[in-house]
Amino acid sequence: MSISSLRVAFVAAASCLFLLVACSDSDDAGNIASDSEILTYVPADTPYLFA
């Protein structure tokens, strides 16, 4: 991969991440858990992912 294609891929990933964060930040009635609760939630059966 060349530098230009890496730059395009990085910009695309950054914009996609920004869109995901912006869309998940909406306070609608269906959003039961807040963003901080989702980030701090660790399932009991997958401790190796967060070690």
Name the token pair of 6: 């890496």
In total, how many domains does the chain have?
1
Q: What's the rounded mean pLDDT across residues 17-21?
A: 69
Nearest to 25 by CA among 35, 37, 15: 35
Name, in order, each residue with C-beta under 8 angstroms of 33's C-beta and a sequence gap of 6 or more.
Answer: 41
Nearest to 20 by CA among 38, 40, 43: 38
- By residue range, what is the domain housing residue 41? 3-50
Name the token pair of 4: 């230009």
pLDDT per position as a tens digit, 24-35:
655 555 555 555
Nearest 5 degrees, angle CA 26-CA 41-CA 18? Answer: 35
pLDDT greater than 60 at residue 38: no
Instruction: Please tell me whether the overall predicted TM-score, pTM, comes out greater than 0.75 for this model.
Output: no
Q: What's the rounded mean pLDDT across residues 7-34?
A: 66
